[in-house]
Amino acid sequence: HIVPIVDYGEFDGQLYLALGYMEGGTLEDKFKQPRSVSYQATLKLLKQVAQALDYAHSQGVIHRDLKLPNILLDGNNKVYLSDFGIARLIDSTRLTATGHIAGTPMCMAPEQARGDASGKATDIYALSVMTYLMLTGFYPFTAEDPMALIQKHMYETPPLPTMVNPHLPVAVDDILMRGLAKEPDERYGSAMDFVKALYK
C-alpha cells in the first residue's frame, strides 16, 4: 500500500522518480463529504493505510507528514501511501535536508512540534488526526494561525468525536483520545493496533 516507483534516473541534469499512476484521486477528495462514506468503509481504507505505515516502520522509516492528500487511490479504490518527502529514519539519520520543524500543522504530533525526535508514535498521532477528520468531518483542532494550531496540539484536548458526530460508536472516543495522547508512549504500539481497536 505504498505508491510504487516504476522508474528513476536523470534527465537533462535533473534527477527524477516515476511513480505509479493513481487514477482514483486522494482520500481528501473522497472525504469532502465524510458522512457519505460509511463507518465500515472508512475502516477498510484505514486498515490499508495502517498496513503501509507499519511496513514503513518495519523498514525503519517514519513518514512524518501523514494527511489525507498524501493517501492516493487507484481505479479499484485500493489505498496507497505517498509523499515521503520529509521522512526520517528511526536511527535519526535524515532522509531530507530540513533542519527545522517539518510537517503539516493540522496533523502535527506534539513531539514533532517541539522539534523532538520522531518515532512510530508520531505517525500514529497523525493517523489519529486523519481518522478523527474522516469520521467527524472536522479536524480535532483548528486555528487561523499555524503557531496557534501547533500550541493546541501540544496543550489542548479536542472535543470527543461523538460530540461532533453522535452517530459514531461510543468506544471511538477512548480510541481516538488514546491515539491523540500528548505523550508518545501513551499511544497505540502500531498503526494496525489502532485500527483494530476501531473494529471492536
Q: Which residue has the cell 528511526?
A: 90
Q: Where are the alpha helices (DSSP H) in 5-67?
A: 27-30, 39-58
CA distance 86 to 115: 14
Which is catalytic among the residues 12, 54, 65, 185? 65
Distance of alpha carbon 108 from its chain centroid, rounded?
9
Q: Which residue has the cell 535524515?
A: 94
Residues forming a β-bridge with 71: 81
Per the annotation, the verdict on 65 as an active-site residue is yes
The answer to whether 153 touches 110, Cβ cutoff 8 Å, is: yes
Catalytic residues: 65
